[in-house]
Structure 1
């Protein structure tokens, strides 16, 4: 009889041990990237998961012993918990952040526009060389098997009415002692990198005890004022211009915001730019080229910084698209240079209220490719993120001519789609790596821009136009363990090409080869002679002396990580681990040799980055919805 009672304990133990599987897979996924896999570290990573497993074990054995019908409720609840842990594991692998309400809300709100991301979520490697879909299938089978065994054992026990109260009491007492030890240990221990120790079910309780205990006292320090507050655009007139050459007189302005196009793939070390991207090479050679840092590696955040000259909101909420009116360089050009703004997009304008954002910064009309394409049967390689770029540029010229015929200059914004995931811009059937497919899409964009310039030339609007080509954010391809964007502060995600070009005109050459997206708006103001403006900015015109620049940036997820670049050094602060990593990006451009920062240097850099985060949140907290 006692054997059957022990069988219940063993089968339940097998069932609840599955709760450890997602964290073990996650540890393996990160093992070759950012984490230590010593015994002490692994124990720290699974500590909260052990607590969850022990709690479920105690509840299950206690309730099933009392009434066999509890089995059904417990088995269903355990399946739900396991599914949540698996989803949390996958979210961490892609975004380095535990699953939380913000991510769930964001995903539900934009579900129709995120369906193409399902391919990466389900089928990209998720640990041990397996896809997430396969892992879910295997653990589902394991879940069914273990709970079937629990059910059979439960039936046997209640059929024979087995009880052994004395043995059960000792067993429970030992488990409670073990659970208490784990719980105390979790309060004492410091958080692991990227919250790898956190279990989404047990952490809220543990975090509460940590906050009310004195086991990890923190000394509050006054946060310094942010060193790059907003200031009026007119103040740049006090900064020395680069040279005495007259600024070219432009009638028109074209923005080409290069979706997901990173610096490393076009102008990075070892890239033969002229061979792969002849148009980009020509424009960069004849115009002004710089490596530009983003504010936040996310599309809507990039648009905001490019068009307003301000840092974006450092969090998942798209506050940039909420105001009905917000000051921008486009508004200034419309008011002072008799210009009209228009946008053409292969990306869906509904995503993250892109259409509403463009209206708020002064773009009166926005068109999708399907609205302007002469060939209404043009779609190819379309998906839930956007449409093909084939007709984006060529079909827009007639709209620009309509503006010039009214005696106005145009501000044209182009949002090509090609380099966005899933990088399916061609029908090439040859097996390729994901990076190769991505760079082939950039090559396609390069070709289309070349054709656009020819069309502009034939239409007589090329020579009077200033072109600005800039990436909205970079893209990761596993260089530091991540793919896509949003979560990394490494160069592949936060640096993009920035080119100013005008046909047949000599543009000033900046002595600095590095810039920030917030520099674009004041630079355009300088080119068009509209610097006498109260427009608030945080960047610096690239036509002026640069001095010692510092570039700040943050992840799309609040308090995941942020960074600053003070050339040649780059500092990345990880909030959960409360740690700063330093790189010398001149000697180590691939960021393969991290240095850990301690002492006064740590305190100083952390304070500067926290002040950046707090300042930007305060700025957006003060922005009311308003009309012009």
Structure 2
């Protein structure tokens, strides 16, 4: 005679464990297969890359199934002792259901992110999200509310169905023999999971392509404290002679000598105005050849400036690119996203240099400098005036990641500050933000190009050809607005008689992609659209207006400003002055770049050769000849193996030197020496 919950306690516990594990394996396999189908039909990678083969896909599905089984086995073992009580069974079912719901929701979100962005969620992407969680959650409540609702509906449906399944299972009779048999099958599945997920190194998973198959495998591969690629040479590095040794930085005592030398030099020096515009690609500037007349002020300044036509950012996301401009330090310190929580290394920023030289220093920014920890990096012992988004009480502009000050307000604040300090030397850093996606203008500013509404089918990681003309209009409208603010700054300097007494530098923290190579916005690749930046230097006493084709990096900006001001380079700088372009070119220093956030990439330019590696879900190597192929349409990595190998070895050596210098165990090195020097380019063929 069968009664409700009449199964013997021991048999019930065994059945509870077995059914959970079997269901977990089935759920993992089903989600894995559905996810693979969705990705194959809808999820072409925007920036290209290597798609995993059928064997890797099936392997990823099997490992995901085993992983789900393992999670539910651990859950059921922990809750099995409660099976003898009705309230215990209710709590166990609820807890297990919540865990299953979470697994399903994370898988659905992971697949959706992969379809939309071309990459699964990784540790770096999660850190990027969590450090800006207030803004991100606001975006989820507004822009992505429908997406959240769909995921919630799927999760709720699974929760209800699984709860019903468990309660029904507990109402059935079972016997110990059958339970043991099921648990034996479960144990085999979990053993597979243990071997695969705990013993199989992530580097082997990446080599087999497994890390590119499911959200779970991608995330697990990214969770190791030190990525395998940072410990070993890349495939292109394995052949040939050992890489050249990266030269150590100068002893810290040299920095003390620099401080004394600068402080004791009472020479008259110019003012400094550094203007950094967020997300401004060179391809939308009039002086570079853009058809729309949206940058008349920047073009006018460019006509009287040194125009660096081959300049690159150190990163294509602001939290790395901006601090690198201000410090001449390459932003690769840890294997994953650096949010500047550990600042145990020497850094000398723009305001430090010029405060030591007797200038009053300020940062006036449209953005919240606290975003992604930027303010932590920029804060040193030097007293400066800081005004940024948290200091403004008026209406702000939503750029998804944060709400920023309208740039015209920032320009007015900068002019007011300069007026109050025009009788003594000053150093001012100004940051403009409105050119950042979604390119919204402040209230009351009429768009020049229409239609310019925000298409809600578009987002930061993906939009299509239908939305592109509208977003191009929005972007050009935003650039025209920012250009007007640059014009206001230049007009004030001119009218006050300070223009020729001020080193004026205008650049962008990075560029912006508008669908080239299937990539939109920034922070996702090292293609030219987002890696190459405008760079103008205006200082008539020492800088003649001209085009300069010498390749330069953002790391070279601060050394150049110092040089033009008559200040010797600080030994902390990793860049070099390009005030004399020929002398700079003769150094043949590589131009290094990287991203650590949505995507994990690193690259180097030894002009005209450019190599970059996408390590987000494997090691996808790209090699371009920028003279022959400025649009980067032909990947020459396989056609030019010698060039690819030489640059890959150079890149790997520099990245490992950066990480080694900043490793926690190497504090003595940081206490005694500055950051390592950048490698010079090897001899490479012209074509």
* TM-score scaled by length of structure 1: 0.76
Q: How does 1:78-227 map to 2 (within 5 A)?
A: 78-89=100-111, 94=117, 96=119, 98-100=121-123, 104=126, 107-112=129-134, 114-115=136-137, 118=140, 122=144, 132-133=147-148, 135-144=150-159, 146-147=161-162, 150-151=165-166, 153-154=168-169, 158-159=171-172, 161=173, 165=177, 187=200, 190-191=206-207, 195-197=211-213, 200=216, 203=220, 224-225=243-244
Relative distance call for 1:386 and 1:558 in structure 2 (3 A) is: closer
- Asked if structure 2 preserves the Cα contact closer than 8 Å seen for 1:19 and 1:85, the reply is yes
Q: Aligned residue for 2:353?
A: 332
- Give, in whole Å, the separation in 1 of the partners of 2:381 and 2:594: 23
Match of 2:651 among 609, 612, 615: 609
Shift of the alpha carbon at 1:507?
1.8
- Give, in whole Å, the separation in 2 of the partners of 1:13 and 1:91: 23
Q: How does 1:544-623 map to 2 (within 5 A)?
A: 544-545=581-582, 546-547=585-586, 548-557=588-597, 560-575=600-615, 576-597=617-638, 603-621=645-663, 622-623=669-670
Shift of the alpha carbon at 1:520?
0.7
Relative distance call for 1:206 and 1:434 in structure 2 (3 A) is: closer
Q: Aligned residue for 1:261?
A: 280
- Give, in whole Å, the separation in 1 of the partners of 2:389 and 2:205: 54
Shift of the alpha carbon at 1:602?
5.0
Match of 1:412 among 398, 404, 428: 428
- Asked if structure 2 preserves the Cα contact closer than 8 Å seen for 1:523 and 1:543, the reply is no
Shift of the alpha carbon at 1:256?
0.4
Shift of the alpha carbon at 1:518?
0.8
Match of 1:276 among 294, 308, 318: 294
Match of 1:293 among 301, 312, 334: 312
Relative distance call for 1:16 and 1:528 in structure 2 (3 A) is: closer
Between stretches 36-45 and 289-298, larger displacement belongs to 36-45
- Asked if structure 1 preserves the Cα contact closer than 8 Å seen for 2:500 and 2:539, the reply is yes
Relative distance call for 1:400 and 1:264 in structure 2 (3 A) is: same
Specify the SS of the correspondent of 2:405: coil
Residue 44 of structure 2 corresponds to residue 31 of structure 1: yes
Instruction: Kindly provide the CA deviation profile for residues 335-357 of structure 1, in whole angstroms up to 9, marking residues without a partner as x.
Output: 34x42212211112333454454
Shift of the alpha carbon at 1:557?
4.3
Specify the SS of the correspondent of 1:400: helix
- Give, in whole Å, the separation in 1 of the partners of 2:19 and 2:341: 58
Match of 2:331 among 302, 307, 312: 312
Specify the SS of the correspondent of 2:410: coil
- Asked if structure 2 preserves the Cα contact closer than 8 Å seen for 1:114 and 1:385, the reply is no
- Give, in whole Å, the separation in 2 of the partners of 1:604 and 1:47: 38
Between stretches 110-119 and 139-148, larger displacement belongs to 110-119
Residue 378 of structure 2 corresponds to residue 322 of structure 1: no
Instruction: Kindly provide the CA deviation profile for residues 246-295 of structure 1, in whole angstroms up to 9, marking residues without a partner as x.
Output: xxx9722110011222333437987326x122222222232122242122
- Asked if structure 2 preserves the Cα contact closer than 8 Å seen for 1:308 and 1:329, the reply is yes
Q: Aligned residue for 2:506?
A: 469
- Asked if structure 1 preserves the Cα contact closer than 8 Å seen for 2:273 and 2:504, the reply is yes
Specify the SS of the correspondent of 1:582: strand
Between stretches 8-17 and 506-515, larger displacement belongs to 8-17
Relative distance call for 1:533 and 1:17 in structure 2 (3 A) is: closer
Relative distance call for 1:457 and 1:99 in structure 2 (3 A) is: same
Residue 529 of structure 2 corresponds to residue 488 of structure 1: no
- Give, in whole Å, the separation in 2 of the partners of 1:263 and 1:585: 15
Residue 439 of structure 2 corresponds to residue 439 of structure 1: no
Relative distance call for 1:402 and 1:348 in structure 2 (3 A) is: same
Q: How does 1:517-556 map to 2 (within 5 A)?
A: 517-531=554-568, 534=571, 536-545=573-582, 546-547=585-586, 548-556=588-596
- CA RMSD between the two structures: 4.7
Relative distance call for 1:329 and 1:189 in structure 2 (3 A) is: closer
Shift of the alpha carbon at 1:60?
9.5
Between stretches 601-610 and 282-291, larger displacement belongs to 601-610
Relative distance call for 1:152 and 1:356 in structure 2 (3 A) is: closer
Instruction: Kindly provide the CA deviation profile for residues 351-370 of structure 1, in whole angstroms up to 9, marking residues without a partner as x.
Output: 34544544428462112368
Kindly report structure 1 stretches of 4+ aligned residues shifted beyond 6 Å.
5-14, 56-64, 168-186, 204-208, 217-223, 267-270
- Give, in whole Å, the separation in 2 of the partners of 1:323 and 1:625: 12
Relative distance call for 1:609 and 1:153 in structure 2 (3 A) is: same
Relative distance call for 1:409 and 1:514 in structure 2 (3 A) is: same
Relative distance call for 1:544 and 1:593 in structure 2 (3 A) is: closer
Relative distance call for 1:199 and 1:90 in structure 2 (3 A) is: closer
Shift of the alpha carbon at 1:436?
3.5
Residue 66 of structure 2 corresponds to residue 51 of structure 1: yes
Relative distance call for 1:58 and 1:340 in structure 2 (3 A) is: closer
Specify the SS of the correspondent of 1:500: strand
Instruction: Kindly provide the CA deviation profile for residues 201-255 of structure 1, in whole angstroms up to 9, marking residues without a partner as x.
Output: 79479999x99xxxxx9998996345576569xx9xxxxxxxxxxxxx9722110
Specify the SS of the correspondent of 1:391: helix
Relative distance call for 1:341 and 1:116 in structure 2 (3 A) is: farther
Specify the SS of the correspondent of 2:408: coil
Relative distance call for 1:472 and 1:335 in structure 2 (3 A) is: same
- Give, in whole Å, the separation in 2 of the partners of 1:280 and 1:206: 44
- Asked if structure 2 preserves the Cα contact closer than 8 Å seen for 1:231 and 1:537, the reply is no
Shift of the alpha carbon at 1:517?
0.2
Match of 2:405 among 387, 391, 402: 387
Relative distance call for 1:58 and 1:107 in structure 2 (3 A) is: closer
Shift of the alpha carbon at 1:445?
0.2
